[in-house]
Structure 1
């Protein structure tokens, strides 16, 4: 069992691919102007469909962090260097490609773009902060300490047994859901390192308790995922349609935030579904290494301007079904670009970086 847990089978690599597709769908739905990110929520233009699709796709970011927590990160500082190399290389090449498309190139703009990706892109900044935090929290998560507590009442007697990880999971759940999502203190919407730390803990907790879920039919995870997506749709519409609450991007991100308990639970159910799949595919494993590059490519301003324009055009002519097919094509193009850049440029530089680190610190 331990060997299986330590080996990243193709099922988890397929999960990475699926997670990034969710991110693409989530971002493309902005262009419908129906879900409240770019404009006010609009139920009149099939807004309910948009909200349901977004409810299904909003789990993408949390899935990535769950994977990190499940497998843990053994060398976080080294991984920060690898991450920065990938960001810089893919940003430069993607900017050049975008410059060819739009016939515009400014060296200063490229420098500003790299600076923005590293210092202001909320996902990248939060993930780097998570990696910096891991040397502090990993010892607690790996602790074998067990807490025993006997609870006695007039009606029953119960012996409670909790691992240190269970305690961390329970306490961080209270901080995330009650103080964060409900009260809006610090972790108001999940777009921050505090939420990443919690999702990381969730991933580790799932790994420790994975055997508890073996009796659940694999199809039930999909059923739960669909039910939660419907509940999220009803919840969102109830807030911004039936209650008369005025909608804006801030409130959308607040109520549809990554720290929403339903969104986190939805991500966990899909994670458990993929963990049960039996799949071995070299192609899947290769392409999964390029999914982070897709995130960078689709966010390059010159490229984003182009794909968002066509997303609006496709939506106006072919509605949501056309938009989903467009997302698939866009994803395949970006994934192919990312894989080519990583194989030809990023990996050779990363290998030299790792060899240098190993030589300097005699690892």
Structure 2
């Protein structure tokens, strides 16, 4: 069995932690941070940075998968395994909260059985499954197109989806929205990951780190300027940009973050590789639609911290670490207890079905 690279597995862990602290900001601070208030400008500046860094982490996380998948064959089991894991967590969490007498929205037959995944809707899972389904066609593009053609495709999609999206709405026919969706955006990330795998060999870590640091400092500079100008219109526009997946700054930092870890040399580390397998579980647990509402609205309330930026970021780090560690422990238990009983059995059934379908 081929050993996984620990440098990219470490990036998987770092990215998921940044996603958790991003959720602390976007879900736990949404009440007071969505519009500019001069009295809490510093805290809102930190909030904006956490929004951006979380979206960059999502891009880095997807790039890891795209980087490896771009040179692999399509396997139906990848999609089935993803859906099974999501299904198991969705129902375990739903039933646990029901047994604990939490008030949950009633589920109609439609909400209960469609669309997948059930009963909690995870946008990331849907977009990732979409990417996996189209993986053979994306790999065909990477194989058949020249280097210049792939660069042109990536450049055109970046202009359409990352730049034109954020130009003020004075364009004819809403052309900046053509064909954009989160699902399609994952295909752009896939092409970038595949391009890096095919053409970008290991570079100097110094070069990659410099690109990452420069990108982060540029974003911090923009946030400081917006706060200094003390005008809500600029803050609102920056918030609208940083809160979505196709933010150009998020893409730049996400790619730079991926390149930095790719260029690292880390010997195979069993602990890192083992923990990294739980990162998808961390996402499914803490960002479950029911858990999200309870966690960020009932258990954790950051309203009192809006005037205390240091306490806001300190609490965010502490809470995120606690959530991260607890979710890892839960997922390890699930992997040991449930996966050994169910997942392997489902894989056998999938293989039998595929063997039968080829006859």
For residue 177 of structure 2, the aligned residue among 174, 185, 194 is: 185
Q: Which has the higher contact order (CA 8 A, sep 6+)?
A: 2
Report matched runs for 1:139-218 at 5 Å. 139-143=140-144, 146=146, 162-182=147-167, 184-186=176-178, 192-211=182-201, 213-214=203-204, 216-217=206-207
**Aligned-CA RMSD value:** 3.5
1: CA distance, partners of 2:218 / 2:341: 43
5+ residue gaps, structure 2: 168-174
Q: How many residues align?
A: 336
- Could you tell me the TM-score, scaled by structure 1's length? 0.78
Report matched runs for 1:223-238 at 5 Å. 223-231=213-221, 233-234=223-224, 237=227
| Structure 2 counterpart SS, 1:323 | helix
Q: Which residue of 2 aligns with 1:266?
A: 253
Report matched runs for 1:1-363 at 5 Å. 8-30=4-26, 31-33=28-30, 36=33, 39-45=34-40, 46-72=43-69, 74-102=73-101, 108=107, 112=111, 115=114, 118=117, 120-143=121-144, 146=146, 162-182=147-167, 184-186=176-178, 192-211=182-201, 213-214=203-204, 216-217=206-207, 219-231=209-221, 233-234=223-224, 237=227, 241-242=230-231, 244=233, 247=236, 252-254=239-241, 256-279=243-266, 280-308=268-296, 309-312=298-301, 316=305, 318-346=311-339, 348-362=341-355
* 1:132 positional shift: 1.8
- Could you tell me the TM-score, scaled by structure 2's length? 0.79
Return closer, same or farther for 1:341/1:212 CA change in 2, 3 Å cut-off: closer
Moved more, 309-318 or 270-279: 309-318
| Structure 2 counterpart SS, 1:312 | coil
Return closer, same or farther for 1:221/1:114 CA change in 2, 3 Å cut-off: farther
5+ residue gaps, structure 1: 1-5, 147-161
* 1:215 positional shift: 6.8
2:285·2:327 contact (CA, 8 Å) conserved in 1?
yes
2: CA distance, partners of 1:258 / 1:236: 21
2: CA distance, partners of 1:194 / 1:235: 32
2: CA distance, partners of 1:181 / 1:187: 15
| Structure 2 counterpart SS, 1:244 | helix
Moved more, 72-81 or 57-66: 72-81
1:314·1:323 contact (CA, 8 Å) conserved in 2?
no
2: CA distance, partners of 1:303 / 1:23: 16
1: CA distance, partners of 2:67 / 2:32: 32
* 1:103 positional shift: 5.0
* 1:198 positional shift: 0.5
